[in-house]
Amino acid sequence: MSKIIFPPFVYPLSPTSHLVCGVDEAGRGPLMGNVVAACVILDRNNPIPGLNDSKQLSEKKRDALEPLIKERALAYGIGQCTPDEIDRLNILHASLEAMRRAYFAMNRVCELMLVDGNRIPPSLPLRSLAVVKGDARVAEISAASILAKVERDRQMYELDRRYPEYGFARHKGYPTKAHLEILQKLPLLDCYRKSYGPIKRILQIQDGL
């Protein structure tokens, strides 16, 4: 199967003369923890070399870029939704809500928001545009993807310190074979998403269904 090549992104508003922010999230696939979003306005007079989709960067590179982004960006914000909110809203709507919260956490009024993917957060007071593969095509979204990923990983390491037997530092909450085997032996913590299939099945077994 041939790989789809996307054309270079063309900004509908120039980011050098307008306030343009990018937003992305991390943590849709894991079985536990918050979904974390970040929103970033870059300073085009203070570029950050090496920005890319966070999934294409090593953890070491992401950790090195995070303080640079926070130092050089005109503004950034972090927004989150908890496992309870994910279970109530579903992960898509929780991700969009986390993005909305990230925008307001910046405390800056932008003229355009560029969103990774094909959906935009609701109830925002600005023009928004969804950009497929935006985390690799738009610098603002790349920066947001890095901040979101590093913040979520930081939370996983904190949970790992509190509950080392669950292996959160290794699997980051994703449904790996090792993670699922751990859940056969240990109780579910409050940080797990009860609406996710593997967790739902464990709860049904515990309830004798």
| 28-75: pLDDT as tens digits | 999 999 999 999 999 999 999 999 888 899 999 999 999 999 999 999
Q: Please name the amino acid found at residue 98.
A: A
Query: How many angstroms from the chain centroid is the CA of residue 97?
Result: 12
Q: What is the CATH number of domain 20-160?
A: 3.30.420.10
Q: What is the mean pLDDT of residues 191-203?
A: 96
Rounded Cα distance, 25 and 110, in Å:
19
**Gap between the Cα atoms of 121 and 106, Å rounded:** 15
Say what the pTM is.
Answer: 0.94
Strand partners, 100: none
Q: In one letter, which amino acid is 173?
A: G
